Structure formats: C-alpha cells, structure tokens
Amino acid sequence: MVGLILRPPPQLNMNEDEGLPERWKMWKMQFQDFRTLAGLSSAEREFQMSMFRYAFGEQAVRCVNTFPNEADEYPEDWENVMKKLECYCLGFAKDLSERYNLNCRVQEPAESVDQFVQALRHMATTCGYCDHMHDNLIKDRLIIGMRNGSLTTRMLRDPRLTLK
C-alpha cells in the first residue's frame, strides 16, 4: 500500500428527488470503504466528522443543518449524523407519498371534527415533518378539509386557534 492515494467518494447528489434512496446506498457503501482504506476509525472524532462533511458535500451539509439534535446528542458525532441522513434519504419517497395523503385528506361525511383531527394527527406522524410542525400542519389541513363552512370561517377569524 505504499504510495496509495485515496479520494473520498463523489459528493452525494441531493438535488434530484428521484433515485435518492439508491444514490444514498451507493454513496454510503463507497464512504464506508473509503473510511476503512483511509484508517479513519482510529482518528479523532472531530477529524472523522470533518472528513464525513467534506465527503458528502454542500447539499447534504445544508440538509443535515436542518436536523434537530436531541439534548443528549453530540452534534459532531458522524455516526449519528449518518443515521439521520440515512433516515432522510431512505424515507424521502415514503414521506412524499404520506404528505400527499395528508394534504388530500378531507373530513368524511359521518366523521366528527374530533375524529377528523385524530385521523390527521395519526397521518402527520408518518410524514417526516419535525415535531414542531405537526400542530400547524394539522390545523391547516383541518381548516381546509372541513365540511362545515361556517365553522371553518369562525376558525379562520381566531388568531389564537389551537388544537386543544
């Protein structure tokens, strides 16, 4: 292995939604091979994270910067970031389909408002939205999808409307 020059895999293309899960799987495999060949597992954590960010590229860095960190998480842990990025990339097509279903949902004729809200809450959990967005999205869908126009009008007049 004298004189071996290693390059990280090409940066992950996240501009195109189609094929992202497949591109992620290939990139991850190439990066794991690169880590092994470069001996990165014995390097300092900060160096490993820097190499990981450098390898996956600007588009992925922008995406990762939107991920929330739990209180007990170390934001510079490359393995944790990789897991989150993997969830994002592999769940992308599923999330889009789930979001479509949520955004098309309207109140059924025999469904009460409470039942409708409950159904929306359940659907929102599978959409891949951050927890902070759930109530706002449910509120929006409730107002748009309600069958009772006068109730919708009253709800729109209330700037402090909550789901409680």
Sequence ranges of the domains in the chain: 10-92, 105-164
- pTM of the model as a whole: 0.54
pLDDT per residue as tens, the chain (164 positions): 556 788 999 999 888 777 888 899 899 999 999 999 999 989 998 899 899 889 988 988 888 888 887 766 777 788 888 888 888 887 766 677 788 889 999 999 999 999 999 999 888 887 777 666 778 888 888 889 988 888 889 888 888 888 77
CA 111 to chain CA centroid, Å, is: 31
Phi-psi region of 128 (alpha: psi -120 to 50; beta: other; left: phi over 0): left
User: Mapping DSSP to helix (H, G, I), strand (E, B) and coil, where does residue 158 land?
Assistant: coil
Please name the amino acid found at residue 30. Q
